[in-house]
Structure 1
Amino acid sequence: MLEVDKKTFEDEVLKADGKVLVDYYGDGCVPCAALMPHVHEFAETYGDKIKFCQLNTTKARRLAIGQKILGLPVIAIYENGEKVDECVKDDATPENVEAMIKRHYA
């Protein structure tokens, strides 16, 4: 699981070849903290085909807004620099996140 920030986001996510999952989380976000261990497990299971990154939106608020991240948690999948899928807020359950990953795992 790669920690990205406003300096590395463009290179690691937007300019990356293939698919990249980004776990957007914030300091003090309880649902984010509850979801994070599951996302780390998914990184171990699916990390051979999808790159896993996480971004602390508390430290990169403008970047998050630029990516249309308006509530947390958000798990998004990018392909060739474009956001192609996401689970947002109440939909960001471990089951939904894994189902989304499986849709793009190929």
Structure 2
Amino acid sequence: MTVRLKDFYADWCGPCKTQDPILEEMEEDLNGDVEFEKIDVEAEQEVANEYQVRSLPTLVIENDDGVVERFIGVTQRDELETAIEKAGA
């Protein structure tokens, strides 16, 4: 089963910059077990609308069955790892 973490962000978003190092470290540590995707809401408004993103940062964890969990605002690593495990990674 493929597990994806979609990171909805914007360049002007301060909290997004706080979230970045957490996600970068996780991506390195999880080494391909989870697909990380950064989505610039300015450039990809259709995707942001599809996921009903209203606040930034928004992190969506999904697997082949669909969305497993959604986080709004800066989210700590342990919360994200728990959701990723629940998604099947």
1:69 pairs with 2:53 = yes
Q: Describe the SS at the equivalent of 2:59.
A: strand
- Moved >6 Å (runs of 4+): none
Please say which of residues 96-105 and 70-79 is displaced more in the overlay: 96-105
For 1:104 and 1:80, how far apart are their aligned partners in 2?
Answer: 9
1:56 pairs with 2:40 = yes
Provide the identity percentage. 21
For 2:14 and 2:65, how far apart are their aligned partners in 1?
Answer: 29
Specify the alignment match of 1:18 in structure 2. Answer: 2
**Aligned residues of 1:50 and 1:105 also touching (Cα < 8 A):** no
Shift of 1:96: 2.5
Give CA deviations for 1:21-69 in whole Å, capped at 9, x if unaligned. Answer: 1111112100001111110110111233211111111111222011111
**Higher RCO (CA-CA < 8 Å; seq separation 6+):** 2
1:86 pairs with 2:78 = no
5+ residue gaps, structure 1: 1-16
Q: Describe the SS at the equivalent of 2:54.
A: coil
Specify the alignment match of 2:84 in structure 1. Answer: 101
5+ residue gaps, structure 2: none
Please say which of residues 39-48 and 94-103 is displaced more in the overlay: 94-103
Number of equivalenced pairs: 89
Specify the alignment match of 2:24 in structure 1. Answer: 40
For 2:7 and 2:14, how far apart are their aligned partners in 1?
Answer: 14
1:31 pairs with 2:15 = yes
Amino acid at match of 2:37: C
CA-based RMSD of the aligned residues comes to 2.0
Shift of 1:81: 6.1
TM (normalized to structure 1)? 0.71
